[in-house]
Amino acid sequence: MSRFEWPVRVYIEDTDAGGIVYYVNYLKYMERARTEFFRKFDSGGNYIADDKSMFVVHSLNSQYLKPAKLDDTLIATVKVIKYGKANISMEQNIYRQRDVDEQSTGSEIEAVGELLCRGEVKIACVDRRMIKPRRMPLELLAGLKDL
């Protein structure tokens, strides 16, 4: 399955007193990338949330490998690992964007930059009123098959 990428800039509000990104902000970057990932499926239906359903985080596992710093340009990625009728598991990583002057060996990871944080997120589609699992829209399921 292909990988979706979303650029993120580190601002002062994202950092602690030492200019290092506060750990919870990596989760916010992942959330932004997931939201933009779902926007690409939006052709008339709102897959982020609508009157009947919405997506919620079911579980999350993350590892913080290296710090991002003030004014870094980051790339937040989304890659669908597997999905069912009402849930999606995604690999989500945060990379420091590679400088244009740096040489790359051409591998997927090196083309993006240095891996800072890696995670796996499982999200569930739920009924908005009952907050119980609900089948994802058929158009979204069909789009996931094409990845």
Compute the distance between CA of residue 117 and CA of residue 18 in angstroms, rounded to an integer: 19
C-beta of residue 73 within 8 angstroms of C-beta of residue 9: yes
CB-facing half-sphere around the CA of 1: CA atoms within 13 A: 17
Compute the distance between CA of residue 88 and CA of residue 67 in angstroms, rounded to an integer: 28
> 106: alpha, beta or left, given left = phi > 0 and alpha = psi -120 to 50?
left
Q: Which of 14, 16, 72, 101 is catalytic?
A: 16
Compute the distance between CA of residue 34 and CA of residue 91 in angstroms, rounded to an integer: 10
Query: Among this protein's residues, is 101 annotated catalytic?
Result: no
Degrees, nearest 5: CA angle 120-60-126: 105
Which residues are annotated as catalytic?
A: 16
